[in-house]
Each structure stands twice: as structure tokens, then as C-alpha cells.
Chain A
Amino acid sequence: ETGVTQSPTHLIKTRGQQVTLRCSSQSGHNTVSWYQQALGQGPQFIFQYYREEENGRGNFPPRFSGLQFPNYSSELNVNALELDDSALYLCASSLDRGGITGELFFGEGSRLTVL
């Protein structure tokens, strides 16, 4: 069984640029959630996609957007990058929006540095 994979693992951007992060969900999972983890903080919910539709969004501005594809893989796009966007971006897949248990299993993350 293939776990959650994310790419790229590390990247450096400058302020004002745009970035796309990618996530392949675990086999059989139809839900992808994205979290942002700043240094020294816990992960914060950005949004969730279930069967290609956004299924909830955290307190992030519209320049954070996403997509889910028919194979349930997903992209996170961030426009007009700011210094505070520097963080570890985590993707987690699950079945049916997390189901009853809500357990999430994370990929290894994409570390974004904005200069």
C-alpha cells in the first residue's frame, strides 16, 4: 500500500511569487487535507477536498487555493507569496472526509522558504 507522497520536498521562493505543491493520496483514499505548520507551532488546517470539491476551509486568505483531481491527488497553490508563508506544508489523505474516527496520516511535507 502506497502512503501519502508530496512534492517537492523543499523549495525556495521570493516574495510575490507563486507556488504549487502536490500531493498523491494513499491508495483507496478519496479525501485530501492540507495543513500549514510554522516553526514551533502545531499544524493549522488550510482546507480539505472530498471527491474533487472543497469540503471546508480554515482561516486562510483566498490566495491559498487548491484542487483535487479525479484520481484524488491534490494541489495547493499559493499566490503572492509573503514571508510568513514560510512553513512546512502537510498533506494528509483519508477515506470519506476522515470518517467517524477522523484519523489523519500525513505525507512527509513540503518545506517552503520565502525570501
Chain B
Amino acid sequence: QKEVEQNSGPLSVPEGAIASLNCTYSDRGSQSFFWYRQYSGKSPELIMSIYSNGDKEDGRFTAQLNKASQYVSLLIRDSQPSDSATYLCAVNSLGSSYKLIFGSGTRLLVRP
């Protein structure tokens, strides 16, 4: 079992729709959770971090965390073609606070 799992996609949504990206993790000791956006050929860019159960909103982005289910999600409202990218879920575990464990990413395509 991979430590952090994501559906590779592509997830295709029309412009203006809500895109929902999901991630599960295996280490129950995980403390910090992150979503990175990565455009083709570029480096990952941190867009959301979440540390406690529930929702965290920042503009059009909402991160959701459910530690009991070991599940993290990212919602993108009013999706734009410029949101088309690969979204990487990353987890920082208590025992290895010095490193992030990344999923393989979900590719999002927003159709004009």
C-alpha cells in the first residue's frame, strides 16, 4: 500500500464547475497535510495546508480533512482553465517531521 494515494486522473471538468480532488494516507500519526499545484515542467507550488479536522477555505479553494478516515480533499470552486495542472497531496508525519510524503498527483483539466 502506498503511503499517500491519489487518483491519477485526468479529472475533466467544465469551466465554472467545482473540481473535487481526493487523497488518502496510511500513517495515522500524520499531523500536517498539504496540497501543491504543479504546472507542466514547473516546480510544485503550495496552495493549501490543513492541520485539524474540518474545512479550511482560501478564496476558491477549500481543503477538507478527516483524520478518522485518513482522507484529505481539495475543492476548487468556479474552476478556470488556468487551474489545469497536476495537484499533489503531501503529508508530514509526526515521526518524520523533516520530510513530506507525496502522492503521485491528480491531473486536472478544466475545459473552456
For chain A, which range describes its interface: under 10, 10 to 19, 20 to 34, or 35 or more residues?
Answer: 20 to 34
The interface bits of chain A over 49-79 (1 if a CB of B lies within 8 angstroms of the residue's CB, else 0) are 0100001101000000000000000000000
**Most central of A31, A43, A90 by chain B CB within 10 Å:** A43
Query: Is B104 among interface residues, defined by CB-CB distance under 8 A?
Result: yes
The interface bits of chain B over 68-112 (1 if a CB of A lies within 8 angstroms of the residue's CB, else 0) are 000000000000000000001010100011111111110000000
Tell me whether A108 and B43 are in contact in the complex, defined as CB-CB below 8 angstroms, given that A101-B32, A101-B49, A102-B92 are known contacts: yes
Query: Is A97 among interface residues, defined by CB-CB distance under 8 A?
Result: yes
Identity of the chain A residue whose Cβ is nearest the Cβ of B93 in the assembled complex: A102
For chain B, which range describes its interface: under 10, 10 to 19, 20 to 34, or 35 or more residues?
Answer: 20 to 34
Identity of the chain B residue whose Cβ is nearest the Cβ of A107 in the assembled complex: B43
B32 — which chain A residues lie within 8 A by C-beta? 101-103
CB distance from B85 to the nearest CB of A (A): 14
Alpha-carbon distance between A103 and B99 when the two chains are bound, in angstroms = 10
Tell me whether A58 and B99 are in contact in the complex, defined as CB-CB below 8 angstroms, given that A102-B32, A102-B92 are known contacts: yes
List CB contacts (< 8 Å) of A94-114 with chain B: 97-98, 101-109
Query: Is B44 among interface residues, defined by CB-CB distance under 8 A?
Result: yes
Identity of the chain A residue whose Cβ is nearest the Cβ of B8 in the assembled complex: A40
A40 — which chain B residues lie within 8 A by C-beta? 104
Report yes or no: B88 in contact with A42, Cβ–Cβ below 8 A. Answer: yes
Report yes or no: A103 in contact with B49, Cβ–Cβ below 8 A. Answer: yes
Tell me whether A105 and B99 are in contact in the complex, defined as CB-CB below 8 angstroms, given that A40-B104, A42-B105 are known contacts: no
List CB contacts (< 8 Å) of B11-27 with chain A: none
Q: List 22 A-B contacts (CB under 8 A).
A: A31-B98, A33-B99, A40-B104, A42-B4, A42-B102, A42-B103, A42-B105, A43-B100, A43-B102, A45-B99, A45-B101, A50-B98, A56-B96, A56-B99, A58-B99, A97-B97, A98-B97, A101-B49, A101-B51, A103-B32, A103-B46, A105-B46
- Chain B residues in contact with chain A, CB under 8 A? 4, 31-32, 34, 42-46, 49, 51, 88, 90, 92, 96-105
Q: Please name the 9 residue pairs, one residue from A and one from B, whose CB atoms are nearest each other, closest first.
A: A42-B102, A102-B92, A45-B99, A56-B98, A106-B43, A102-B32, A109-B43, A48-B98, A97-B98
